[in-house]
Structure 1
Amino acid sequence: MASPSGPPLSPARRAGGLLFLSGQLPRGADGAIAGSGMLEQARLALSNLKKLLESEGCSPDDVVKVTAWITDAADMAAFNLAYCELFDTPYPARSTVVSALVAPGALVEIEAIAQLPG
């Protein structure tokens, strides 16, 4: 079997009425990490998440669980500000972890699980 040219993952997978989305990074249209601070990077990562949801026929309202990784706990308020711009009440269940990230320059990575419509 040939090795994949990129990371060995699927952006999204369906199983049992759920849509599992791989972690979204603050990547611009060129694929490079973009944004100089948490607010800008979180908005971009969440925008990428929304685009992926929509490509699968879902919306942010369908998201039931989010896991986020941020590199600095001091950025939590900025992350929450961007998060509340996309998600409304009732908010998805969420876990947030402070951790180093594999992508150099990334301050945030966000994955989600959504309930498939219908």
Structure 2
Amino acid sequence: MAAITTDKAPPAVGPYSQGIVAGGLLFVSGQLPIDPKTGELPEDMLQQMRQCLANVEAIAIAAGTSLAKTVKTTVLVTDLSRFSEFNEIYGRAFAAPYPARACYEVSALPRGAKVEIEAVIALS
């Protein structure tokens, strides 16, 4: 196992790694929509979605892979009624064959975020 760390994504806020490489895969911890330059969260859910994806992508690049090799994502949102809007942004981030995905509505996320995304990404 090897930890992946980059300053292009927000630092871990607890006892976990931004990403772990094991068995030819990169496991990206849940990424909140924190801008790594400012430490702030965008207000809008859709901007938060874009920032989460940018954070996942930054960790993928740090591991020597790319978002295009994403195998599976788990998405947590606080308002599933905006699923179609979220799905449009998500769909632009990936190409067919799309990664497997689970999406759950949750009552709350850290720092008042509206979205969190974790991913499993192939290294080769």
What TM-score, normalized by structure 1, do the two folds share?
A: 0.88
Contact 1:39/1:81, CA 8 A, preserved across alignment: no
Offset, 1:65:
0.3
Task: Kindly provide the amino acid, as one letter, of the partner of residue 15 in structure 1.
Answer: A
In structure 1, the residue matched to 2:67 is 60
* Cα RMSD after superposing both structures: 1.4
**Matched position secondary structure for 2:55:** helix
- Kindly state the Cα deviation for residue 60 of structure 1 after the two structures are TM-superposed: 1.1
Report the 3-state secondary structure (helix = DSSP H, G, I; strand = E; otherwise coil) of the residue aligned with 1:83. helix
Question: Partners of 2:85 and 2:57 in 1: how far apart?
Answer: 19
The Cα shift of 1:31 comes to: 1.9
Structure 1 pair 44/89, CA: closer, same or farther in 2 (3 Å)?
same
Counterpart residue number, 1:101: 108
- Which blocks of at least 5 consecutive residues in structure 2 are unaligned? 1-11
- For the residue of structure 2 that corresponds to 1:104, the secondary structure is helix
Bigger Rg over Cα: 1
CA distance in 2, matches of 1:38, 1:9: 25
